[in-house]
Structure 1
Amino acid sequence: MYKVLVLLMSCCAVAGVQAQSRVQFQFQNPVSHKAVPGVTVSENAKTVAVADSSGAASLSLQAGIHSFSFSAVGYEREKLLINITGDTILPVKMDADEKELEEVVVSTTRNNQPIENAPIKVEVLGKEEMGEENTIRPSNIASVLGDISGVQIQQTSAVSGNSNVRIQGLDGRYTQILRDGMPLYDGFSGGFGILTIPPLDLQQIELVKGSASTLYGGGAIGGLVNIISRRPTTEQEGVLTLNQTTLKESDANLYLAKRYKGMGYTFFGGYTHQNPVDVNKDGFSDVPRLDNYNVHPRLFFYPKNTTIIFGYSASANNSKGGDMQVLDGHADTFHQYFEQNNTLRQTGEFVVEHHLNDGKNLYFKNTVSNFTNNYSDAQLNYRGNQLSYYSELSTLIPYGNKNSFVAGVNVTGDQFKASHQNLFIPIAALNNNTVGAFAQNTWNIKEVATLELGLRDDIHQQYGNFFLPRLAFFSKLGEHWATRLGIGWGYKAPNPFTPWYMDYTPDRIAALSDNIMPEKSIGYNAEVNYKKRWENGNRIFINQAFFLTQIADPIYGTVDATNYLHYQNGDKKVVSRGFDTYIKAVIHEWELYAGYTYTVVTRNYLAQNQFMPLTPRNRMAFTLVRDFDEDGWMVGLEGSYTGSQKRLDATNTPDYMFMAAMVRKDIGKHVSLVVNCENLLNYRQSKAESLYTGSITDPQFQPLWASIEGRVINLSVRLHL
């Protein structure tokens, strides 16, 4: 009997062995065709194997259907569903992860350097962030920009909803906005609709904090934001997003793109409708009535070694806010106040990129933009038109061991004409024209350091010559540490339409006198980086940056005893200084982004109250995200802390917390549902103070230092066509 039992057990063991199959995965980068070592193989969320140095991972499996996921540092997570019937070798392609710091290449630096080794620190919100923002705030990029440490989105009107971008505590007029490397958002056209650009139309957003005027001209004293449009790929792309919020906003955005052998196209079309809402029930709209239309088609042609782009974009934005009774069509003797902006921006672009031998490139860019705004309120009407233009010819010449030389010339300017004037804005016409030349050389020093010297010379038709040098240095300090140092000069030509010289109370604009001088700046930055990676894709990156910007001859406005507004230059500098701490980490597939910014800005030209109004000294923000690939779920939590700010009368605002949460569910490969809640804590400025003083007929609105919209929930559907 004992021998029979042993025999039966042996047969079962043999049968069990025979049911096992040997499966080998071979991981490869589809672009370089090199093996990918260290890939983690998971089944049912448990690690079952890790690829060796040759990119191979082997394991024994029972016959049947198995579902695997594969992950590695620097690569996208891949999935595979297979039916095991016997021994087999399975090749698996691992695509590079665009989110990885080393894989990101930025265009703002002009020399196609990887972001990690660039002497100038460039922060990038990539295609994935744009895709997520498309389902959270599909109408604009204001929210995603405000998540970056050191960046503040300052809403300038409680009624119209206009905003500007402030970097390192400086006014919005010191931030330069670019679209595909071309600066057209300034002057009369600068205060309207910049942030209404939908994220679905964008490949990425690149942001530089601190002086960046050498490559792109005056204006980038505080920093610059470069908005990069999407380009077609060989795969047909089609995305339709539908969104509805509890704040009565409805959005529909469509993106289509395809690259063929000799040509390609992209097309974006979007519409946003917003009904006016009085959140705090004070009789005035906290969000205006809004209808916004966007269209942006582009054609791409690919003759030998060349890319030619023809593009056109149009954005029509019609908004009206104010007394809710007026907005409902029931104005009377007491209920009269409103603000209305009807804007139309049309832009044409022509770009040629020619690739020569040995990595050399020649670029030509030309764009013309026509902007019209018809503004009216209960007392006045003003209509103006600004024609802006930009042309550039530049070249990139790599040489030696990863060295490069960039040079170019450009012409930029605008022509403004008022077709209907009033006493509050007595400007009939205005012209600006600047011719500039720039050069930049980048030296790679023994693969551990990079030195970059840039020079620009601008000639402004009215204000003369501006010479703008910049020096930047990057060095690796071993495997984990690196450092950056930089200094740069900048300037800002006076423009009466550049918001705002009057402490966020832009109720009137005056002409500039002949004795007004341009503002000039010098900015310094220093930073230290630390990075570390370990098994299972865990990694951490820490950046500690320090900044100092000094602005000479700052322009500010005052109102005299006769209620006359005039501008003048301060005899002492505006100084912005502080530090910025940024952490990016992936721990057990949870992604964490956290930042803290300490900022002190002083206006030394004033005898007292030298603080910069509405500038928090302390600000923190974080984002925590987890993508559950196997189940098709993604969850995210976002929070920020804004410290106390000084009002115009030197009183302090309360500090406050802002929280948001998001849940996404992917249904198959073509449908995603997203539920997002902004301002979970429902904090509003109106809970701390009234948003206006005076009468209902003639209200005087308070400057804004916090959200006025309250808690907002949105549901969006994203369809991959």
Structure 2
Amino acid sequence: MKRLVLFFGLFITTVAALSQTKVVVKTVSSGTGDVVQGVSIALNGKSIKSTDANGLAVLQLANEKSKLSFSAVGFKTQDTTLVAPFPDTLLIQMISAQKELEEVTVVSSTRNNQRIENSPLKVEVLGREEMEEESTIKPAGIASILGDVSGVQIQQSSAINGNSNVRIQGLDGRYTQILKDGMPLYDGFSGGFGILSIPPLDLKQAELIKGSASTLYGGGAIGGLINIISRKPTAKQEAVFSINQTTLKETNYNTFLSRKDKKVGYTFFGGYNYQKAVDVNKDGFSDLSDLKGLVLHPRFFFYPDHKTTVVVGYTGTFEKRNGGDMQVLAGKADATHQYFENNTINRNSWELTAQRNLANNRKLEFKSSLSSFKRRILNNQVDFTGRQTNYYTELSAFLPHNANNLVVGVNATGDQFTKLTNTIPLNNFHNNTVGVFAQESINLQEHTNIEIGLRNDYHFTYGNFILPRLAIFHRINEHWATRAGIGFGYKAPNALAAQNTDFEIQKITSLPSTIKAEKSVGYNAEINYKVEWGVGNELFINQAFFLTQLTDPVVPTAASNGDVSFQNQSKPILTRGSDTYVKALVHEWELYVGYTFTVAERKYLTQNQFIPLTPKHRFAFTIVRDFEEEGFRFGLEGSYNGFQYREDYTKTPGYFFMAAMVEKKFGSHISLVLNGENLLDYRQSKVESLYTGTVTNPTFKSLWAPIDGRVLNLSIRWKF
């Protein structure tokens, strides 16, 4: 009897198997051709499976009529009906539910080929459209557009030369790592004027990670990371030329060219910036320095076969910045009017990257860059010239398997600071690091992704650092999702690292031999809500919380004679708070609202533990509408910065900042943009003098508000 039951069981199973057919489904984006993972597949109205990290799913379909439905966040639902015999492979092209320019399917900073919505590591993207708009508003650099993002503060560190740095989550600028195409850019001596000379017209997008990312990219990404992505060549010849003029005597000329053929391609950016020195508050000193700057960025692309891409590129930045006493700048120095500062900058960078696509969607990638930064600082007290050389080399592999992804790699990075004139007490120094890293992205369930990362860096001066990271993303339902993570980091001490206020280089002393590297641990948690309704209307709300603890912080101390020394503190720096932003698209009106609450404290102090020049409350909004039929685009943005503490423990007032722009398009080739910044004309100089001391020997105060005042600019752009 048992044998008879077994026989009939096997017979029924065999018949059922013979009545089914295996079908392989692959889902890709209709706009870009990129793989779309995590697509939910429903059979006859019942959910049965989701595509894996390679956009693939294997279905067993009965040899009868089958109704399939494919849905994913950010894409329109695709329906199809199959009747036997079925195809072996079914290609489904997912159509974006957003505008093509706003669609960012995959970001490179996560290294895992996941869609941004499902990535355990939170990444915010300023895309191609934002870069093109910024190229007509602030063509010379990306500092302004980065400052529009909640939780990001652009801190001007000098009233004379205009230098600025990027601060994230209340931490100083030296804890934000700047990358270009995944390779480190500016730090230490070469960090001066970094983000001021990155033109937005040359960029595809900018990717921001708030919080620790050191496991992926090494020491320095403690407060956050900004990865700027260069544009790639297009199949059709592309040519853009723009001219910009401001009411504060700034002129910009920019051009971008690109073309791709079967075997070769190229991109080229060239820009020239000219700024006359301006004394906005009429105190006798320049609030905008005299500037002449040239940026060149050619890149050449080679495609030996359909699986291989090789890129060779060069970036040259050449600037002269002169600021100080307006009478001295006019060539009329005398016994009273003597103060000035001249900066001459030559930055030359070379890159070589190669990417090889292997079988089963595996990928091998090589990156290498070499940069030489030379700066001459000339003022009435010192004439100094120094050079910093940076190098970076990385070999990594992307290895998808089943529904998971593995990234492994090894890199070497370093810098060398050399005095070309022996006119400052600071000695030559260098930093060299080798590291290995691995990151596993695991899809536990249909709606849950976990990332486990581990990096081991060996710094030749400060020893070994093991940096683990854990992040999780869970989609509760089609509207709600949540993220959480923890990451470790470190920062090697550097006497020339960015500070909130620039120190005079002739006052900076060498690091003591006993100094240690700073270490950090960062936590983050967030919850998201997204809903779509009608035609093209959507709302996205993100509520995030963060906490970063920095142990053994390296703190500068100025002696009575002005000499600046550095030492570790026994108690940590602690920053914590929340970051809220809302994005909405309603009847073609785009709205962005962000609020950041930050408590940043120096626990090594017994009182007045606040970190100076850090607003506890910061609010920002942007409203944009594109009237396509009329050829107009309108934008309005504003922000409120709450009170900040000065170094002397006094409070600054809070202030509002407003800006507006209108663009008129003439066909598809010409656009005219009128933009106004700081329309309320709020300036720090309206509250207090920008310097103390005498005209001959001034001491400039730290900056907590704009000093350049209201400015209008008119730009015209041609696309050929």
TM-score normalised by the shorter chain: which range applies?
0.7 to 0.9
1:465-486 Cα distance to aligned partner (Å, 9 max, x none): 0000000000001110000000
Instruction: Indicate the residue corresponding to 1:362 in structure 2.
Output: 364
Instruction: Indicate the residue corresponding to 1:672 in structure 2.
Output: 671
Instruction: Indicate the residue corresponding to 1:298 in structure 2.
Output: 299
1:341 to 314, 334, 343: 343
Deviation at residue 194 of structure 1 after TM alignment: 3.0
Letter in 2 for 1:126: G
Letter in 1 for 2:208: L
Are 1:118 and 2:107 an aligned pair? no
Letter in 2 for 1:311: G
8 Å CA contact 1:615, 1:646 repeated in 2: yes
8 Å CA contact 1:193, 1:317 repeated in 2: no
Change (3 A) 1:324 1:74: farther
Change (3 A) 1:604 1:682: same
Letter in 1 for 2:407: V
Distance 1:380 1:230 in 2: 41
Deviation at residue 560 of structure 1 after TM alignment: 3.7
Instruction: Indicate the residue corresponding to 1:90 in structure 2.
Output: none
1:353 to 352, 355, 365: 355
Q: What is the TM-score of this pair, normalised by structure 2?
A: 0.86
- Report the secondary structure of 1:610's partner residue: coil
Letter in 2 for 1:185: Y
1:438-485 Cα distance to aligned partner (Å, 9 max, x none): 000000122201000000000001101000000000000111000000
Instruction: Indicate the residue corresponding to 1:392 in structure 2.
Output: 394
Deviation at residue 566 of structure 1 after TM alignment: 2.1
Deviation at residue 98 of structure 1 after TM alignment: 5.8
Deviation at residue 607 of structure 1 after TM alignment: 2.2
Letter in 2 for 1:285: S
After TM superposition, the structure 1 stretch with the greater mean CA deviation from structure 2, 561-570 or 526-535, is 561-570
1:553-597 Cα distance to aligned partner (Å, 9 max, x none): 001122345654321111100000000001100011100011000
The total of aligned residue pairs comes to: 639
Distance 1:466 1:456 in 2: 8
8 Å CA contact 2:310, 2:352 repeated in 1: yes
Distance 2:328 2:97 in 1: 55
Residue correspondence of structure 1 range 573-592 to structure 2 within 5 A: 573-592=572-591
Q: What is the TM-score of this pair, normalised by structure 1?
A: 0.86
Distance 2:609 2:100 in 1: 41
8 Å CA contact 1:98, 1:104 repeated in 2: no
Aligned-residue Cα RMSD (Å) equals 2.1
Distance 1:471 1:100 in 2: 32
Change (3 A) 1:101 1:54: farther
Change (3 A) 1:676 1:100: closer
8 Å CA contact 2:141, 2:199 repeated in 1: yes
Deviation at residue 193 of structure 1 after TM alignment: 3.0
Letter in 2 for 1:202: L
- Report the secondary structure of 1:536's partner residue: coil
Instruction: Indicate the residue corresponding to 2:446 in structure 1.
Output: 447
Deviation at residue 192 of structure 1 after TM alignment: 2.7
Distance 1:561 1:237 in 2: 58
Are 1:244 and 2:245 an aligned pair? yes
Are 1:652 and 2:654 an aligned pair? no
Residue correspondence of structure 1 range 686-697 to structure 2 within 5 A: 686-697=685-696
Instruction: Indicate the residue corresponding to 1:326 in structure 2.
Output: 328
Distance 1:117 1:355 in 2: 24
8 Å CA contact 2:75, 2:95 repeated in 1: no
8 Å CA contact 2:102, 2:129 repeated in 1: no
Fraction of identical pairs, as percent: 58
Distance 1:598 1:704 in 2: 20
Letter in 2 for 1:444: N
Residue correspondence of structure 1 range 169-184 to structure 2 within 5 A: 169-184=170-185
Instruction: Indicate the residue corresponding to 2:547 in structure 1.
Output: 548
Instruction: Indicate the residue corresponding to 1:701 in structure 2.
Output: 700
8 Å CA contact 1:554, 1:569 repeated in 2: yes
- Report the secondary structure of 1:157's partner residue: coil
Instruction: Indicate the residue corresponding to 2:516 in structure 1.
Output: 517
Letter in 2 for 1:319: R
- Report the secondary structure of 1:417's partner residue: strand
Instruction: Indicate the residue corresponding to 1:136 in structure 2.
Output: 137
Deviation at residue 32 of structure 1 after TM alignment: 7.1
- Report the secondary structure of 2:535's partner residue: helix
8 Å CA contact 2:158, 2:501 repeated in 1: no
Distance 1:193 1:184 in 2: 8
1:169-197 Cα distance to aligned partner (Å, 9 max, x none): 10000000111111131111012333311
- Report the secondary structure of 2:201's partner residue: helix
- Report the secondary structure of 1:385's partner residue: strand
Letter in 1 for 2:648: D
Instruction: Indicate the residue corresponding to 2:608 in structure 1.
Output: 609
8 Å CA contact 2:449, 2:474 repeated in 1: yes
8 Å CA contact 2:591, 2:622 repeated in 1: yes
Instruction: Indicate the residue corresponding to 2:557 in structure 1.
Output: 558
8 Å CA contact 1:244, 1:716 repeated in 2: yes
8 Å CA contact 1:273, 1:292 repeated in 2: yes
* Unaligned stretches of 5+ residues in structure 1: 1-27, 34-52, 56-71, 76-92
Distance 1:210 1:230 in 2: 26
8 Å CA contact 1:29, 1:96 repeated in 2: no
Change (3 A) 1:624 1:561: closer
Deviation at residue 506 of structure 1 after TM alignment: 4.8
8 Å CA contact 1:101, 1:115 repeated in 2: no
Distance 1:349 1:196 in 2: 18
1:280-313 Cα distance to aligned partner (Å, 9 max, x none): 0000000000011000000000112000000011
Distance 1:270 1:448 in 2: 46
8 Å CA contact 1:155, 1:164 repeated in 2: yes
Instruction: Indicate the residue corresponding to 2:637 in structure 1.
Output: 638
Instruction: Indicate the residue corresponding to 1:187 in structure 2.
Output: 188
Change (3 A) 1:603 1:106: same
- Report the secondary structure of 2:613's partner residue: coil
1:514-553 Cα distance to aligned partner (Å, 9 max, x none): 1100000000000000000001211000000000000000
Instruction: Indicate the residue corresponding to 2:220 in structure 1.
Output: 219
8 Å CA contact 2:96, 2:103 repeated in 1: no
8 Å CA contact 2:186, 2:194 repeated in 1: no
Change (3 A) 1:267 1:106: same
Deviation at residue 229 of structure 1 after TM alignment: 0.5
Letter in 1 for 2:664: K
